Amino acid sequence: MAADGTTASCIRVDLSTLPKAAPEAMHLLPCEVQREGAARVSEYFNPAMREGDGGKEVSFRGRALRGQDVDVPTGFIGLVLKETHKPCTDDEDRCLTVRSTFSSFTQWNLETPPCADDVLVMSMIWPKIAEAVMQTTIEIAQGTPSTA
């Protein structure tokens, strides 16, 4: 029970399903698709992609998309998770299995190419920043700050 008297549900990821999960190409689109289930991306979307001056280009439902490949930070892996069953209430625990994995993905923007200032691209450097902050904190705590 939470401090405010409410109950909290727990989300578990069944990592025993990770070894069976196959790597998959991932795309992050700047839209919401009102559909659940599989999409025939390799049949319709991938063949339409082309390399342009500013990176990848494709049209999705009549809108121009510009994309770039983004690597998952070193030491991390991207997971596509699937819920084994829908909970009946918000308080019910949830269990997810690993459906597939990815080490990079294509980020798409509407009409303008992604750049280093995009929030998503910048978020991928967070593990390096966190590691540097942690290392500095440890060095200060030990009384041995680095001079670098």
Per-residue pLDDT tens over the stretch 96-123: 999 999 999 999 999 788 888 888 888 8
Distance (Å, whole) CA 108 – CA 69: 9
Classify domain 11-114 at the CATH class level. Answer: mainly beta
Question: 26, 102 in Cβ contact below 8 A?
Answer: yes
Per-residue pLDDT tens over the stretch 48-90: 888 888 789 988 888 889 999 999 999 999 999 999 888 777 7
Distance (Å, whole) CA 52 – CA 14: 40
Q: Is the whole model's pTM more than 0.85, yes or no?
A: no
11's tokens: 């989300």
Distance (Å, whole) CA 67 – CA 97: 29
Q: Are strands 78-83 and 11-14 parallel, antiparallel or unpaired?
A: unpaired
